[in-house]
Amino acid sequence: MNQKEAIASGKTSLGIEFGSTRIKAVLIGLDSTPLASGSHEWENQYENGIWTYSLDAIWNGLQDCYQDLVKDVKNKYGEDLTTIGSIGFSAMMHGYMAFDKNDELLVPFRTWRNTITEEAADKLTKEFNYNIPQRWSIAHLYQAILNKEDHVKDVAFFTTLAGYIHWKMTGEKVLGVGDASGMFPIDSTTKDYDAKMVEKFDALVADRGYSWKLKDILPETLCAGTEAGVLTKEGAKLLDTSGKLKPGIPVCPPEGDAGTGMAATNSVAVRTGNVSAGTSVFAMIVLDKELEKVHQAIDLVTTPSGDPVAMVHCNNCTSDLNAWVGLFKEFAESFGIDVDMNKLFSVLYNKALEGDADCGGLLAYNYFSGESITGFEEGRPLFARNVEGNFNLANFMRVHLFTALGALKNGLDILLKEEKVKVDKIYGHGGLFKTPVVGQRIMAAAMNTPVSVMETAGEGGAWGIAVLASYMQYKEKGESLADYLTNQVFGGESGVTENPVPSDVKGFDEFLKRYNAGLPIERAAVETLK
């Protein structure tokens, strides 16, 4: 079947993901190849001390993104988009969208970016003996209770952004288990909210006199592959303002951006993981056993199939590195040299591979903002060295690549060295890995694990949720998501792999000792450079 016929007959799947700065839609065929795409740029607002997106911004953004996709389909294939085989919606995880019995939003959407729930997160972590980060939905709900916010008594339902979109499209108050794992802890044996922790929460707020119990107001959890409703007439009109899209299209469980990232990088199987390295960096590893201790540096979430995942999230990665590359560009242009940025990144990144294993004694911190893993609420980028250090371009570039992963390595060392978590392969995606070999080799050194990059890594979460929609529609009987991805989507492709170089591994460990010992320098910079 050619692509035009696939679109006309609805042998397609559509994924739409709400990122923090862009809403993206990707339409794929039966073989998961992207056929068309659309996008819409948007930004959060800081209003009354809250990071938020308005309901108008959400719906205008979705409709504009979908119309952009429709135009792309028309331009490429001459077809009007009237039917689709299956649809999936995904979005940034966590946050707080609370509704009353009349389905009215009670307070403006509180996004994951808000750090206003420290008291609630700390108390729940102690109560559950389970790490509850500030951005989790349950931390937002409990903080509202601690603050004695009047709206809490009227809560009939609360959910994430993806859960909200899906509800309005299908009428179903459900959530993919991966996204749900960022609302409240999941029991991976039942693929549902942890029953003992639900009981503990209800007991914790029993004296408040609310009419609801926690399970009553949480969305139902669904695993990947389950049908999660169909596009209603109202949903079709909301999505496609032209009225051409027909209702009745099956919709998969809505997922969070962590789950779609796992799907997009074929890292949902046990002992696999992925690292997303750009402005921020996070690593996710699918666990083969429970962790022995509670670690505030480690978030526990799940795959879209409900398997446990350990996540290390850091606020800073490539921003300072990019700023230094920009400085070298300015230097070259001062000599009248026209600089190709891709070539400049390639030359400077590859230069780092010529440096001393431990960066020659140099030190840098890439903290544009605070970094919770190392205990910083604010950051100041800085570079430092002593006179005995081997100060040359290779070591200078190498230390900035190493420090881009410095905080992450502290978190990963808890998993890999302290908790003895086993990892067979890591998949990398994001800007750090655009220059072939270098980013992979530095990441492999940090983790002492092979790191692969796949051609599809650049497709992102919208493609990932489209693949999850396709899995719901076209999986074989009993076929797991991991098998579907390996056999049907990636066709056995394993990407380009870089194995850890022993001298790099040893050098990164030496650098990390210097990095952790030098944190008081970063603290002084924060306190001094106001």
pLDDT tens-digit readout, 151-200: 999 999 999 999 999 999 999 999 999 999 999 999 999 999 999 999 99
The predicted pLDDT at position 458 comes to 60
Q: Give the pLDDT confidence of 219-229 residue by residue, as tens digits.
A: 999 999 999 99
Q: How many residues does the chain have?
A: 530
Q: pLDDT-derived band of residue 115, with 50, 70 and 90 as boundaries? A: confident
**CA gap 183, 258 in Å, rounded:** 13
Q: Give the pLDDT confidence of 323-357 residue by residue, as tens digits.
A: 999 999 999 999 999 999 999 999 999 999 999 99
Say if strands 308-314 and 281-286 run parallel, antiparallel, or are unpaired. antiparallel
The predicted pLDDT at position 491 comes to 83
Q: Could you confirm whether domain 267-453+500-530 is CATH 3.30.420.40? A: yes
Cα dihedral 456/459/463/465 (nearest 10) = 90
All residues at 6 or more sequence positions from 89 whose CB lies less than 8 Å from its CB, including other chains: 15, 16, 17, 18, 162, 165, 166, 169, 251, 254, 465
The predicted pLDDT at position 414 comes to 94
The predicted pLDDT at position 429 comes to 84
* Predicted confidence (pLDDT) at residue 456 exceeds the cutoff of 80: no
Average pLDDT over residues 484-498: 86
Say if strands 496-498 and 451-453 run parallel, antiparallel, or are unpaired. antiparallel
DSSP character for 372?
G
Q: pLDDT-derived band of residue 52, with 50, 70 and 90 as boundaries? A: very high
Say if strands 425-429 and 451-453 run parallel, antiparallel, or are unpaired. parallel
3-class SS of residue 51? strand
Say if strands 220-222 and 174-176 run parallel, antiparallel, or are unpaired. parallel
Instruction: Write the DSSP string, 178-206.
Output: HHHTTTS-EETTTTEE-HHHHHHHHHHTG
Q: Give the pLDDT confidence of 298-314 residue by residue, as tens digits.
A: 999 999 999 999 999 89
Give the containing element (helix H, strand E) for 118: helix 118-128
3-class SS of residue 219? coil
Burial class (CB in 10 A: 0-12, 13-18, 19+), 330: exposed
Q: pLDDT-derived band of residue 280, with 50, 70 and 90 as boundaries? A: confident
User: In b/e form, how buried is each residue of 71-106, taking b as 16+ CB within 10 angstroms?
Assistant: ebbeeebebebebbbbbbbbbbbbbbbbbeeeeeeb
Token pair for 54: 């308005």
The predicted pLDDT at position 356 comes to 98
**CA gap 428, 426 in Å, rounded:** 6
**CA gap 335, 129 in Å, rounded:** 60
Residue 174 dihedral angles phi and psi, to the nearest 5°: -130, 170
C-alpha dist (Å) from residue 461 to 16, 108, 276, 466: 8, 25, 11, 8
Average pLDDT over residues 468-497: 90
The pTM assigned to this predicted structure is: 0.88
* Predicted confidence (pLDDT) at residue 446 exceeds the cutoff of 90: yes
Residues of the chain with CATH 3.30.420.40: 3-256, 267-453+500-530
Q: pLDDT-derived band of residue 369, with 50, 70 and 90 as boundaries? A: confident
User: In b/e form, how buried is each residue of 1-36, taking b as 16+ CB within 10 angstroms?
Assistant: eebeebbbeebbbbbbbbbbebbbbbbbbeebeebb
pLDDT > 90 in the chain, percent: 87
* Predicted confidence (pLDDT) at residue 77 exceeds the cutoff of 70: yes
All residues at 6 or more sequence positions from 87 whose CB lies less than 8 Å from its CB, including other chains: 13, 14, 15, 16, 169, 231, 249, 250, 251, 252, 469
The predicted pLDDT at position 25 comes to 97
Q: Which range is least confidently modeled, 67-71, 272-276, 343-347, 395-399?
A: 272-276
pLDDT > 70 in the chain, percent: 99
**CA gap 414, 300 in Å, rounded:** 13
* Predicted confidence (pLDDT) at residue 449 exceeds the cutoff of 80: yes
Token pair for 371: 């970094």
* CATH architecture observed for domain 3-256: 2-Layer Sandwich (3.30)
3-class SS of residue 28? strand
All residues at 6 or more sequence positions from 341 whose CB lies less than 8 Å from its CB, including other chains: 325, 329
Token pair for 327: 């400085």
Residue 358 dihedral angles phi and psi, to the nearest 5°: -100, 20
Token pair for 160: 């994430």
**CA gap 303, 283 in Å, rounded:** 13
What is the residue-averaged pLDDT of the chain? 94
Average pLDDT over residues 73-80: 96
Q: Which range is least confidently modeled, 275-279, 290-294, 524-528?
A: 275-279
Single-letter amino acid, residue 369: S
3-class SS of residue 99? strand
**CA gap 141, 208 in Å, rounded:** 13
Q: State how far Cα 441 lies from the chain centre.
A: 22
Reported as half-sphere exposure (CB side, CA atoms, 13 A), residue 359 has a value of 27
- Asked if 291 and 298 count as a contact pair (C-beta separation under 8 A), the reply is yes
Residue 246 dihedral angles phi and psi, to the nearest 5°: -85, 145
- Asked if 484 and 490 count as a contact pair (C-beta separation under 8 A), the reply is no
Q: pLDDT-derived band of residue 21, with 50, 70 and 90 as boundaries? A: confident
